Amino acid sequence: MANFCHECGAAHGASHAAPPRVATPTPKKKTPRKVSAYAKAYGKHYTALKKKHPRSSFGALSKKAHAATRKTRGKK
């Protein structure tokens, strides 16, 4: 199947020049957000629970991990 120009219908080849490319500016690198102490503690509790109970659902494990995090950090 031949390639045709979507604008003029002419066949792509030596007679049809490609449009010039516009240089896009390089995007700024995003600085990662600082992870809170609570999120770090929660992650440790969650991974430990996931290792002990790999078949449990996310909801059940996260509920236990949040409870353990609040208990160790002295909240509520």
- pTM of the shown model: 0.59
Task: Report residue 76's pLDDT band, with 50, 70 and 90 as the boundaries.
Answer: low
pLDDT above 60 (res 1): no
Task: Give domain status of residue 61, yes or no.
Answer: yes
Is 9 among the domain residues?
Answer: no
Three-class DSSP category at 45: helix
Residue 46 lies in a domain: yes
Higher pLDDT: 38 or 17? It is 38
Give the mean pLDDT of the chain.
86
38 contact partners, CB below 8 Å, separation of at least 6: 69, 73
In a domain, 63, yes or no: yes
Q: What is the pLDDT of residues 36-70, one digit of tens each?
A: 999 999 999 999 999 999 999 999 999 999 999 99
User: Can you say whether residue 3 is alpha, beta or left, with left for phi > 0 and alpha for psi between -120 and 50 degrees?
Assistant: beta
Q: How many domains does the chain have?
A: 1
